[in-house]
Amino acid sequence: MYMNTERMLDNLTDKPDPDLSDYCNMAEVRFSVLNNPRNNQKRPFCQEPFKVATACLTALCVLLLVVLVATNVHSISSVQDLPSSSAEAHIPKTCTNVTNLTAELQTLRKVKSDLEEERSQLKVKVTELEASAVTQFTPVTATGSCTVDWHYFKGSCYFISDDSRSWPSSQAYCKLKGGHLAIVLTADEQTFIWDLLPRGPWHAFWFGLSDENIEEDWRWVDGTKLVGGFWEDGEPNNHNDEDCGYMIKTLVLSRVATKSWYDAPCEMYRPFICEKKADVSS
């Protein structure tokens, strides 16, 4: 029994408990660290877990904040740049359209100006045609009309010949056409006929007046006596047995229709003026 007791004591003294030894060692280390300032400064960062966790969380928050800010900035920049980029993309096209419209406007203005000028010219031509319609065209009225080459005036048709004949031959030709050499009774009729005549150095045309039967007894081809007349000053003068009447139209613009009659020998060849009644329209 004594020996067992002694063995037990030996075991207690010679063989220390490993767990107790480790614990003591750890206690010594902690005591050493706490009491040594240098060791306290040099201890590893990993020996403080809560600081590591705090640092990681802080870094993660900062990273998330940076990502969030960058995303917002990019979104705002994209939104702001989109209209600007779209507008910039439309600028060249808009400028091209403005240039084309300006050129088209100038073209239209030129066309308008040309049309206005042409319109003015047409108005002038219309006025001239209206003024000369009596001499250039054969009018048709409600009471009568004239055939081709005959000109209508107040119920009668007048023909201006191109060939020349004597006064008797001219009268025969007019009869063949259904008329006679022109009988001119009014200033209006005289002016109308005179306006039909072409100008020339001395263009003289027979009309239906003569004193061939009785000197100075001027009568029309229908036998009626002349009253008045449209003689040039000093006419008729019966120079060289001048028994037939003609009217002239020269290049002298100062001459007038109502002073254009002359007497001349009836055998002279001259163009002539025929007259006949207008055809009655149905």
DSSP E strands in 119-238: the ranges are: 150-153, 156-160, 180-181, 203-210, 219-220
* Inside any domain, residue 185: yes
Measured over the CA atoms of residue 39, residue 44, residue 46 and residue 51, the dihedral's sign is: positive
% of the chain exceeding 70 in pLDDT: 68
pLDDT of 142:
43
Whole-number Å distance between alpha carbons of 240 and 135: 34
Please determine, for residue 24, whether its predicted confidence score (pLDDT) is greater than 70.
no
State whether 154 and 39 are in the same domain: no
State whether 38 and 156 are in the same domain: no
* Inside any domain, residue 163: yes
Provide the domain count of the chain: 2
Whole-number Å distance between alpha carbons of 20 and 26: 10
Report field, pTM of the whole predicted structure over 0.75: no
Burial class of 7 by CB neighbour count within 10 A (0 to 12, 13 to 18, 19+):
exposed
- Show the tokens assigned to 97: 């359209």
CATH number at residue 238: 3.10.100.10
* Inside any domain, residue 94: no
pLDDT of 50:
66
The whole-chain average pLDDT of the chain stands at 79
* Inside any domain, residue 130: no
Whole-number Å distance between alpha carbons of 146 and 279: 6
> Mean of the pLDDT values across residues 21-41?
49
* Domain boundaries, position 33: 2-43
* Inside any domain, residue 88: no
Tell me the residue type at 166.
S
Span 130-172, pLDDT tens digits: 666 544 444 444 456 899 999 999 999 999 999 999 999 999 9
Kind plus residue range of the DSSP H or E element containing 264: strand 261-264
* Inside any domain, residue 202: yes
- 270 band by pLDDT with thresholds 50, 70 and 90: very high
Structural contact between residues 243 and 263, judged by C-beta atoms closer than 8 angstroms: yes
Please determine, for residue 239, whether its predicted confidence score (pLDDT) is greater than 90.
no
Kind plus residue range of the DSSP H or E element containing 3: helix 2-14
Span 105-126, pLDDT tens digits: 889 888 888 888 888 788 777 7
